[in-house]
């Protein structure tokens, strides 16, 4: 079956489409956007996108067995339309309809270019740049907005400075839990490396004991 297309007359906006088409043989929905970008969405992806992940398919009962979605080869589009900034797809194979936000589709474009743009890029920094790093308070972990800022700092720069944390056993594990699950190894869940004077180390007293000062901050001057 040839590609079926629909031209749209819409205002200039990067999240608005100028043309919709679908290729039944390749089972791809094709969208041309106002900014000149082109996107292709597999039918099976569109079917997944309309489901709420935690609930499964809308027609499933809560106690029903988990079922995989349709065979991709069985999917077929009857028609497409745009209403209230949403794409409405009429599916032939099961006589159902799905609604997809155009702005969400644009934001989730599957092209390599779009994926690369969404991928976070680490920022290189030196001692001079490190002097500008913000300090976070230990209480910021309890506030979602500040915690997000801290996590973005850690994601982009690889380090976040936190003060006013309690000096007590287990605090490192408590903070690490905000970043993700703690992995248990043959050293245990938490392993301390401690800087001790040579006369206090003792033979085998602590495999993590060292007389060398340990700092992850390198040449960063902190007072």
Give pLDDT tens digits along the chain (223 positions): 445 545 554 444 445 788 999 999 999 999 999 888 999 999 989 988 765 444 455 555 555 555 556 788 888 999 998 888 889 999 998 888 888 989 999 999 999 989 988 888 899 999 999 999 999 999 999 999 999 999 999 999 999 999 999 988 888 889 888 888 888 888 788 877 766 676 665 555 555 666 566 665 544 444 3
Say if residues 41 and 55 touch (Cβ distance below 8 Å). Answer: no
Which tokens is 158 given? 């690889």
Say if residues 21 and 113 touch (Cβ distance below 8 Å). Answer: no
In order, the DSSP letters of 123-170 are ----HHHHTTPPEEEGGGGGSHHHHHHHHHHHHHHS--EEE----STT
Residues 8 and 113 in one domain: yes
Range of the domain at 213: 192-223
Separation of alpha carbons 109 and 131, rounded Å: 38
Please tell me the predicted confidence (pLDDT) of residue 60: 56
Residues 61 and 114 in one domain: yes
Residues 12 and 83 in one domain: yes
Angle at 73 between CA 68 and CA 75, to 5 degrees: 80
Residues 6 or more apart whose Cβ sits within 8 Å of residue 146: 136, 137, 140
Residues 185 and 202 in one domain: no
Residues 101 and 163 in one domain: no
Residues 6 or more apart whose Cβ sits within 8 Å of residue 221: 127, 131
Residues 211 and 185 in one domain: no
Residues 98 and 48 in one domain: yes
Please tell me the predicted confidence (pLDDT) of residue 126: 93
Cα 133 to chain centroid distance, Å, stands at: 24
């Amino acid at each position: 079956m040839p590609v079926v297309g629909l031209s749209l007359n819409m205002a200039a906006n990067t999240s608005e489409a100028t043309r919709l088409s679908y290729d039944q043989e390749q089972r791809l929905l094709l969208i041309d956007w106002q900014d000149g970008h082109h996107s292709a969405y597999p039918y099976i992806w569109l079917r997944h996108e309309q489901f709420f992940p935690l609930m499964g398919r809308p027609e499933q009962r809560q106690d029903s067995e988990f079922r995989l979605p349709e065979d991709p080869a069985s999917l077929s589009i009857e028609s497409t339309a745009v209403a209230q900034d949403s794409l409405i797809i009429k599916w032939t194979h099961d006589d159902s309809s799905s609604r997809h936000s155009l702005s969400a589709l644009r934001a989730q474009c599957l092209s390599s270019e779009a994926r690369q743009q969404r991928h976070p890029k680490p920022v290189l920094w030196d001692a001079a740049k490190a002097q500008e790093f913000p300090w976070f308070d230990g209480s910021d972990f309890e506030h979602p907005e500040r915690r997000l800022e801290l996590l973005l700092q850690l994601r982009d720069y690889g380090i976040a400075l936190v003060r006013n944390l309690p000096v007590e056993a287990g605090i490192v594990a408590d903070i690490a839990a905000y970043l993700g699950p703690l992995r248990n190894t043959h050293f245990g869940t938490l392993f301390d490396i401690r800087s001790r004077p040579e006369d206090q180390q003792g033979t085998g007293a602590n495999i993590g004991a060292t007389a060398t000062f340990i700092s992850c901050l390198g040449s960063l001057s902190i007072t």
